[in-house]
Amino acid sequence: MLSAALRRANPARFRLAVRLSRSTIRAIRVLPCLGLLMLGPPAYALTKQEAVVVVKLVQALEPEFGKLAFDETAADDWFEADAQSRRRISRAGFNQDSWKAALGATVTGYIAALPEDEFRAMLATLRANAENRGSLTAEQRRVMLEFVDEGVSRLEAMRVEGEPYADIVRPLAPRLRKLMVE
């Protein structure tokens, strides 16, 4: 009722409110991901040695588990799968929580260490691929672009999250680039 009155009284303000509502909804969707990206305690500090071990483990596990497509469940999935296999992660000194924190810090540090132009080009490529996807209806394309926009928001949040780890991970970036799903 209020929205109909606002629409009639001030159409421009109504459109702005709708845009803000959509933005708020997108932000709310991203909040759980951001919370999950707080992969360790607030004072978690990735060491250079941990980052090197994480990269070595991902390299060792990649033939069995595939390229790393990092999201909020990847660390747990890899830890559990490795626990059923050769237990390389736990033999390297990680428990599930410390692995999750170290892998998360390493991946977010990697994203933060990417040069700005390369990062922006990657995001633009994601969007362009979604926009130019053939044989999609307008509705399917809209949904695809919303999904891409949410992914871009998550990547930007991960970049901010990884800033404290960027200098530690930067020397490992070429190795990580080969191990990550693009």
Angle at 69 between CA 30 and CA 27, to 5 degrees: 5
More confident of the two residues 8 and 39: 8
> pLDDT at position 1, please?
40
More confident of the two residues 49 and 27: 49
Residue 47 DSSP one-character state:
-
Q: Any idea where the domains of the chain sit in the sequence?
A: 38-179
Mean pLDDT of 21-38: 42
**Tokens standing for residue 96:** 């599930």
> pLDDT at position 137, please?
86
Mean pLDDT of 114-122: 94
> pLDDT at position 3, please?
41
The residue written with tokens 């040695």 in the block is 49
Q: 3-class DSSP state for residue 45?
A: coil
